[in-house]
A and B are shown apart, each in its own frame.
Chain A
Amino acid sequence: MEWDSIVAEYLAVCQIRRAMDLLFTDAQDEFRHQVRRWLEANVPSEARGTGPLRSLDTAEGFEAHRLWERTMYDARWSVVSWPAEFGGRGVGLMEWLIFEEEYYRAAAPTRVSQNGIFLLAPTLFEFGTPEQQARFLPSMASGEVIWCQGWSEPDAGSDLAGIRSRAERAGGSAGADASASGGWVLNGQKTWCSRGAFAHWLFGLFRTDPAAQKHRGLTYFLVPMDAPGVTVRPIAQLDGETGFAEVFFEDVSVPENQVLGTVDQGWSVAMATAGSERGLSLRSPARYTEAAGRLLSLYRQRAERDPVAARRVADAVARAVIDAEAYKLHTYWTATRVLDGGSVGPEASMNKVFWSETDLAIYEAALALLGEEAELFGADGHPSSWLDGFLFALAGPIYAGTNEIQRNVVAERVLGLPRV
């Protein structure tokens, strides 16, 4: 072959690789089938007498969900995108999205380890020391240690930087420049910690320099919930279950090696976690496309029984279904950008508003289809999955930074409007 034509061919190949392609590769399809086969054989199910699991916000359900995490971990499916040394398979972002699609398709249990694997883990990979990674990641991946997030306080919600819980150098010398490595003493109160009623460890923000400006002087700590001086008070949520908790700290000792990132730089570490919470990792699109699929089935059933009543809700159903798919497409679009070397900045705030509102729209449409039946609990004494999903979806616009705060971020940091 002539040199010229070799070059031309090479360029043509590059061109093809860069061109838009909305199909998965054969290897990705194979990965999908592998995931599907394993989940089909292993997901707790009524047919096999292994499911469904009780709610993860009950003591019994929490343990059952941990066991499921262990089963996945043993087959190396619990954290597919992590490196093999921590129990993962080292797959890429697209494969992770495929895994999530299959996970929701299989109606597999809610991830009891989600605060750990989706929020803390990316932060540990970015800011953790090798020792911290080796110490915390495998037990997180196996479900042995369940983590909760200790950020909010009674007087610091949206205004997170206003937290007052404090950490002081053991022995009394304060601040980052104290050379003593005698660790820290924590005092104060956290609240609304999801899974806090049963979790084993907490990742939290504490004030280490009271003299510094609000966003400075905060430090990110990793704290065992059974440490002396930690008291947990479970709080019943809207659905009656103890989905979150207050956590009190009274002279709780924490060694130096449980500081994540740099002392007094906790805000930037926390913002990395928040990026994961709002951006690509906490809420994968399959969650909504699967729910939208169930909404369509419900619509079909209802339309057969009472077409007039169903048609009243048709536009809302279509909207919810379209928005769920729009979220999925936007995720693939963003994932491609990230894989091509781009990053996700304040746009993550758009994501958070969109997924939370889409979720709510799906369940609101479902309840509208159910009409007066919606409020009724089933024979098992529990709300229907629609009512339950609706109650949970209602929290979406509040947690992970309220949607009002996200809109402020979009307006100021994406559109450049003045802060004032």
Chain B
Amino acid sequence: MHFAFDENQLEFRSQLRALTDKSCTPADIREAWASERGWSPSRWAALAEMGVLGLTVPENYDGLGLGLVDLVLLLEEAGRSGLPEPLLETTALAVPVLRDAGGAGAEQRRARWLGAIAAGDAVVAVGTASMPAVPGAGRADLLLLERGGELHAVEAAATRQTARRSLDGSRRPAEVAWEPAPATLLASGGDAVGVLASLADRAAMGTGAVLLGVADRLITMTAAYAVERVQFGRPIGSFQAVKHHLANALIRLEFARPAVYRSAWSLDHGDPEASRHASMAKALAADAATGAARMALQVHGAIGYTEEHDVQLWMKRAWSLAAAWGDAPTHRARVLERILGAGGH
């Protein structure tokens, strides 16, 4: 038992943090949210150069061939920095689907897309049947889409999209109309069930990891504000009601963290309980983040209720990612079901 990250993993996070500290400031995030694409191609290129985009791409396709334990701190960092680019969707969702789905044409598909993804030249979006809109569909070159128990890989040009505005300006969801064809089939039957199940687990862990970073940023920003803002002649952070709001948020975050890291490890190691671990991770991280968002708004007062103040950027991400890929109550119900077995209520 050694529940800690190794030096390479910590170092990778430091590198990403150095990049985001420089080129992902709140002003940069606002610019991305206001832009047509919702993100910055130059930042995307920088991420590719660092090796982040190819982290989960196998080495023979010019990636780093690493796992989710190597990725999880970077996802957390994406949340902390408010990174508008689809790091989670690319590294934790799309790449492993392309990598793992078998079937006809799988090898060509990998050759066509994986290297391009690692190089930052291709972007892939993922949409399941239950999603009302596919996040990032408009900027994707390829869409991995589920319908009727099948998974298809459809090029963007072959889809018709209706963009939907959404709360978090970097999500960029669109309703996608498309036709399945034999040539687009990625997985069906038991193969598709397996691919979709592990996709859902990675998504629960991955959204959880980003949410840890979001909660962390909300707490740090709010603690700083509480020291600086003076009312009744003293910093509001000296009032106990404010202290306790912040302490509670931090406690929820600190006890969610190891659960998310464990989930990444379980997925990497094919732990038979990996699904349950992923649901636990998401349930804890989603509550930590939405709780931190409520707290952050309350402690900021009216200034937090404006578009002008930066705290909104992280609050909105908390709300959208907490609901994405199953919210906390959904995942708690899954945990209970998995423990009690099918037929347990």
Contacts and interface: CB of A to CB of B under 8 A. Distances in A.
Contact of B1 (A332, A340, A407, A411): A332
Interface string A286-325: 0000000000100110010001001100110111011101
A6 interface: no
B261 A20 contact: yes
A322 B280 contact: yes
B265 A20 contact: yes
A323 B335 CA distance: 12
15 contacts: A18-B6, A20-B2, A28-B1, A314-B345, A317-B336, A322-B335, A330-B255, A353-B251, A407-B247, A408-B240, A408-B244, A411-B243, A417-B235, A417-B238, A419-B238
A350 interface: yes
Given A332-B3, A407-B243, A322 B284 contact: yes
B332 interface: yes
Contact of B254 (A22, A347, A416, A418): A347
B335 A321 contact: yes
Interface of A: 15, 17-25, 28, 94, 296, 299-300, 303, 307, 310-311, 314-315, 317-319, 321-323, 325-327, 329-330, 332-333, 335-337, 340, 347, 350, 353-354, 404, 406-408, 410-412, 414-420
A333 B258 contact: yes
Interface in B301-345: 329, 332-333, 335-336, 339-340, 344-345
Contacts of A322: 259, 280, 283-284, 332, 335
A319 B329 CA distance: 9
B329 A329 contact: no
A415 B244 contact: no
Contacts of B8: 15
Given A407-B248, A417-B243, 8 more contacts: A19-B6, A20-B265, A21-B3, A22-B269, A296-B340, A325-B280, A329-B3, A415-B219
B55 interface: no
B238 A420 contact: yes
Contacts of A418: 227, 234-235, 237-238
Nearest to B287: A319
A354 B224 CA distance: 24
Interface in B257-295: 257-259, 261-262, 265-266, 269, 280, 283-284
Nearest to A414: B250
A330 B247 contact: no
Interface residues of B, number: 49
Interface in B62-113: 69
B339 A321 contact: yes
B235 A24 contact: no
A415 B223 contact: yes
Nearest to A16: B6
Contacts of A332: 1, 3, 258
Contacts of B179: none
Contacts of A303: 340, 344-345
A347 B257 CA distance: 14
B284 A326 contact: yes
Nearest to A28: B1
Q: 4 closest A-B pairs (Cβ-Cβ)?
A: A411-B243, A420-B238, A318-B332, A417-B237
A321 B2 CA distance: 23
B4 A329 contact: no
Contacts of A319: 332
Contacts of A323: 255
A410 B253 CA distance: 13
A25 B339 CA distance: 26
Nearest to A319: B332
Contact of B255 (A296, A327, A417, A420): A327
B226 interface: yes
A407 B258 contact: no
Contact of B345 (A307, A412, A420): A307
Contacts of B259: 322, 325-326, 329
Nearest to B72: A20
A314 B333 contact: yes
A372 B242 CA distance: 38
Residue among A319, A326, A412 with the highest chain B CB neighbour number at 10 A: A326
